Amino acid sequence: MASINMIFGIWNKNPTRHSRLEDIQGIVAGSMIAALGLFFISKVGLVTSGMAGFSFVLHYWSGVNFGLIFFALNLPFYILSYKRMGLDFTLKTFLAVGLTSALVDVENRFITLQSINPVWAAVLGGLLLGFGLLALYRHRASLGGIGIMAVYIQERFGIQAGLVQLGFDAIVMTLALGVSSPFVVMCSLVGAVILNLFVLINHRSDRYIALR
C-alpha cells in the first residue's frame, strides 16, 4: 500500500518528494500549457525568448514545422544538461521538449482561431509559456535550450548566465526583423519581457522545496 501511495502521490505524506505520477502529470500539464502559449505566439507570426524564439525564426524562414525544428535544436543541449543537472532532469526535459514540440504542431486540429490582436497574443503567449515553465521547473524539468548553455558558459568562462540569455534573445529579435514586420517584433519583445518577468517573480526555489 505504501508503494501504491507513493506512485499516485495523492496520499504522498512526504512534502519534499514528488511521486512518479506527480512528476508525469506535472510535465504533461506544463507541456500542454507551454504549447498553448506557443500556439498563440505562432498565430500572428511572433517570436519569443530562448530557443523557442530561434525555432520560430527558422520556421517562418524555411516553412519547416516549428515542432521539428524546436526538438532538433534542443538535442545538443542534453549533453550539457546531463553533465550539469544529471540524468533525471535530462530525461524529464527530453520528455517535456518532445511533448511540447508535438502538441504545438497538432493544436491546429483542435483549436480554430480566426483572429487575435498581436499585442494580446504576445501577452497571453508570454503568460501561458511562463505558467508552463513554472510547472516544469517544479518537477525538475525544463524546455531545454539556451538556459542550460548559459549556466555552462557562466561556470566555464565567468560570464553571467543572465547576460548570455539576454544576448541570445537580442540576436533572436534582430533575426526576427528579417521574417516579420517591426511592429510584430515589438509585440514579440513585449511577450518575451512578460515571460521573463513572470518567471523571475514567481520562480524561487526557497518557496518550493519538493525534490525528486
Helix (H) or strand (E) holding 13: none
- For residue 177, what is the enclosing H or E element? none
- What is this structure's pTM? 0.85
Mean of the pLDDT values across residues 162-170? Answer: 82
pLDDT surpasses 70 at 29: yes
Which of 74-78, 98-102, 143-147, 158-162 bottoms out in mean pLDDT, i.e. has the lowest? 158-162
CA nearest to 33, candidates 156, 124, 169: 124
Q: Of 141, 127, 143, nearest to 24 (Cα)? A: 141
Phi, psi torsion values for 211, nearest 5 degrees = -125, 170
Stretch 129-153: mean pLDDT: 84
What pLDDT does residue 36 have?
Answer: 95
Q: Max Cα separation, the chain?
A: 60
Cα separation, 185 vs 88, in Å, equals: 36
The answer to whether residue 183 scores a pLDDT higher than 90 is yes
| Whether the Cβ atoms of residue 26 and residue 140 lie closer than 8 Å to each other | no
Distance (Å) of CA 124 to CA 107, 154, 197: 16, 31, 14
At 17, phi and psi to the nearest 5? Answer: -130, 135
Classify residue 75 by its DSSP letter: T
Measured at the CA of 161, the angle between CA 160 and CA 163, to 5 degrees, comes to 70
What's the CA gap between 106 and 95, in Å, rounded?
17
Q: Look at residue 1 in the predicted model and tell me its pLDDT.
A: 47
Across-strand partners of 17? 211
Q: How large is the average pLDDT for residues 93-116?
A: 89
Of residues 14, 52, 55, the one with CA closest to residue 136: 52
**Burial of 150 per CB tally in 10 Å (0-12, 13-18, 19+):** buried
CB 135 within 8 A of CB 33: yes
